Amino acid sequence: MSEAPTTLLFFGRVGDRLGRERVLTSLDAATVGELRRTLAAADPACAILLDPTVRASVDRQVAGDEAPVRPGQEIAFFPPFSGG
Q: Is the pLDDT of residue 10 over 60?
A: yes
CATH number, domain containing residue 51: 3.10.20.30
pLDDT digits (tens, 9 = 90+) for 42-75: 999 999 999 999 999 999 999 999 999 999 999 9
Cα 14 vs. chain centroid, distance in angstroms? 10
In a domain, 1, yes or no: no
How far is 84 from 65, CA to CA, in rounded Å?
A: 26
Residue pair 78/12 in contact by the 8 Å Cβ criterion:
yes
In a domain, 84, yes or no: no
Total number of domains constituting the chain: 1
**What is the per-residue pLDDT for 30?**
94
SS3 state at 34? helix
Q: Where in the sequence is the domain holding 47, given as residue range(s)?
A: 6-78
pTM (predicted TM-score): 0.91
